[in-house]
Structure 1
Amino acid sequence: MDVEKVFHMNGGLGANSYAQNSSLQKKASDMVKHITLKTLEETYISTTPTSLGIADLGCSSGQNTLSTIREMVEAIDQIAGKLPKTPPPEFRIHLNDLPTNDFNAVFKILPDFHQSLNNQRGNRSFKHDSSVYIAGYPGTFYGRLFPDKCLHFIYSSYGLHWLSKVPPGIYDNNGKSINKDSLYISKSSSPQVSKAYFDQFQEDFSLFLRSRSKEVLTGGRMVLILLGRRDRNHVDRGNSFLWELLARSFATLVFQGEVEQEKVDGYDSHFYAASREELEEEVKKDGSFEIELLEMFEIERNSGGYMSHGTAVARTVRAIQESMISHHFGEEILDNLFETYGKLIDEEMGIEDIKPISFIIVLRKL
């Protein structure tokens, strides 16, 4: 399966869209928003460019993308207003995601976004004559996207745990997966599976760093938010366990006769939850960036509201994984699959909390 041609968040504004089911990601980005904005402010103050280049890698679609951009513009406007004889810069905003992303959903709301932003900026106590230019840049961030030294700041929220492809090392000489009954690394996975996923992570993350090192100006910064794991053990009651529960959900459909086991055996994820040590090692090996901050944090479970935590997680995962699953299995299994998945999560949460962890990394270009 060609991930670049198939994988995308659910577009539009429907019940299963990413726009309607990304509140958990929004909650996480808000938890570390103070770090993101402080890093952007420090980058601006140290360079005070008249034209500020910002890229959002893995922007997806929906309001989350533009709300982050709004906060960035507001933060720099306020800083510029406090600096003597320093008008706000113009903003060059580069929105990046895979070509299959629903960029149209973003572009359709840009006129209202610009009008709202300009009204808000016009109400400030200082004058501004800067503009906000926003463009879409389709393509994988595992490779070059932008011209040399054109960016001051890169932001990526929950994109870098997705690999460029399913690791080829999990297939035998006949093209069959050796990772039976699992969608990701599990207790039953062989060491070869763990190594294959780690090798693919190393290849992808090192390429990401090399590519960005050409595009970011010296002193520029990157803020990266991604899922991870606590230690070198690949299997934990966090992100890997959520994949295990999804595999159990598929097993239920096999038992019910809705899916063939052979079809499930041929489906594997292109995901990797890196550890702190693995991230640090790759940054050190590349040598283009300095780690200014690397912190781990947890997203609190969904409480209250009209749906359970399990349902909220299942709807979020569906909005992300539906393109891949429907391509491999067909759309007819989706409702039953994710209803089962949500129930399994709630059952397990009643026994013991599931605690997926995330990292926020701040990198400065040397």
Structure 2
Amino acid sequence: MDVAQVLRMNGGEGDYSYSNNSLLQRKVISMTKPIIEDALTNLYCGMNFPQTLTMADLGCSSGPNTLLVASELVKSIDKIRQKLGSNNEAPEIQMYLNDLPHNDFNTIFHSVPKFQNNLMRMPNSSCSPQFYVCGVPGSFYTRLFLRKSIHFVYSSYSLMWLSQVPDMTSTNKGNIYMSTTSPPNVIKAYYEQFQKDFLMFLKCRAEEMVPGGHMVLTILGRQSDDPCSKECCYVWDLLAASLNDMVSEGLVEEEKLDSFNIPQYTPSPKEVRKEVEKEGSFSINCVEVTEVNWDACTSDGDDQGYNMGKCMRAVAEPLLLSHFGESIIEEVFERYTNHIKISMAKEKTKLVNVTVSMTRKI
């Protein structure tokens, strides 16, 4: 699997699009607002109220969450400036929106004029920051920006995705991700791939960020030291169960299933901290762990299991399409949604988020 070619959220604005099935991710973004505001306050004050700020949202995807992040960043800077009573003019802000080349950038760009008009309707809009948007296709495991050009980097629910499926010496039989039944060297391969990728991410950002620049990352993770704990693997175990059911009925080839693995790693706070300290270019301001229920993907009164199924389809469908083909998609996601419904009816299922705020050392 060439991850850079196939990893993307479902584009457009259809029933299974990421745009219409990302309420859970939106909730996570809202939960991290205090950490973002604190980082921006320290940045803005520490740099003596600069007249230009360059920011980047890495793994921006598409849909309303993308410009929600941009909006919150602009509002935060304006709020900080007014709170501190700065007599300086509002800064100009350049926002880079980054994702892999097959991301649905067109949907984002179509939304920008409306977004900019909404900013102009903000209170005291004549004094609000001027905001400019630019799309940057490419992997954030490579260099993306000019050296020492970025003041603030933000990423939410992107860095758990790996640059490639880990190289495994054993078949991860019957599984599509780390599981309690995975061979030890499969678990080891996943962890080593995370270490390699996250270290490269930090090295690239260290080159691109100005001294004193700030970075806030929220990663789908886990609290447990066990990389196969239910809190991080269960959502993929249910998809594996759906595929195994189809194998037993002759609808999917067993070899096809055994050669499919999700390119993701959900780190613990300890693992995140370890890699940041190992790379050495950033000082950690805080590491926080939060939880979000699976039912955050739905509005009140809606079918929670069905909506969580659509949320996961928006995320996982392109990966399954590239490996299994189109013929199984409707069937596998119908079964997957049923597994999710049963699980959510039995217990309060949660996802764990690891948020780290850090500063580029001077």
Normalising by structure 1, we get a TM-score of: 0.94
CA contact (8 A) 1:57 1:155 kept: yes
CA contact (8 A) 2:217 2:356 kept: yes
Partner of 1:314: 309
CA contact (8 A) 1:263 1:329 kept: yes
Aligned partner (choices 100, 103, 113) of residue 102 of structure 2:
100
Pairing 1:18–2:13 present = no
Partner of 1:8: 8
Partner of 2:272: 279
**Greater alpha carbon shift after TM alignment, 106-115 vs 346-355:** 346-355
Partner of 2:223: 230
Structure 1 residue 38, shift from structure 2 partner: 2.4
Give the alignment's Cα RMSD to 1 decimal: 1.6
- Paired residues, number: 357
The whole-number CA distance in structure 2 between the counterparts of 1:171 and 1:323 is 26
Structure 1 residue 307, shift from structure 2 partner: 3.6
The whole-number CA distance in structure 2 between the counterparts of 1:130 and 1:361 is 26
Residue 270 of structure 1: SS of its match in structure 2?
coil
Query: Residue deviations 1:187-244, cap 9 Å, x none?
Result: 1111100110011000000000000001111111111011111222112121211111
Aligned partner (choices 271, 281, 303) of residue 288 of structure 1:
281
The whole-number CA distance in structure 1 between the counterparts of 2:160 and 2:299 is 29
Pairing 1:59–2:60 present = yes
Pairing 1:343–2:344 present = no
Structure 1 residue 335, shift from structure 2 partner: 1.9
The whole-number CA distance in structure 2 between the counterparts of 1:84 and 1:364 is 23
Partner of 1:115: 117
Structure 2: state its 5+ residue gaps.
Answer: none
Query: Residue deviations 1:71-93, cap 9 Å, x none?
Result: 21112122223433211100010
**Greater alpha carbon shift after TM alignment, 13-22 vs 69-78:** 69-78
Q: Give the letter for the 1:76 counterpart.
A: I
CA contact (8 A) 1:89 1:130 kept: yes
Percent identical residues: 40
Residue 285 of structure 2: SS of its match in structure 1?
strand
Alignment of 1:138-217 (within 5 A): 138-168=137-167, 170-171=168-169, 178-217=171-210
Structure 1 residue 304, shift from structure 2 partner: 6.2
- CA 1:5/1:106 → structure 2, altered by over 3 Å: closer, same or farther? same
CA contact (8 A) 1:163 1:204 kept: yes
Pairing 1:259–2:252 present = yes
**Greater alpha carbon shift after TM alignment, 61-70 vs 300-309:** 300-309
Partner of 2:349: 354
Q: Give the letter for the 1:146 counterpart.
A: F
The whole-number CA distance in structure 2 between the counterparts of 1:27 and 1:185 is 26
Normalising by structure 2, we get a TM-score of: 0.95
The whole-number CA distance in structure 1 between the counterparts of 2:318 and 2:107 is 17
CA contact (8 A) 1:80 1:87 kept: no
Query: Residue deviations 1:246-287, cap 9 Å, x none?
Result: 100101222333211111111111000111111111011001
**Greater alpha carbon shift after TM alignment, 203-212 vs 246-255:** 246-255
Residue 68 of structure 1: SS of its match in structure 2?
helix
Structure 1 residue 119, shift from structure 2 partner: 2.6
CA contact (8 A) 1:61 1:106 kept: yes
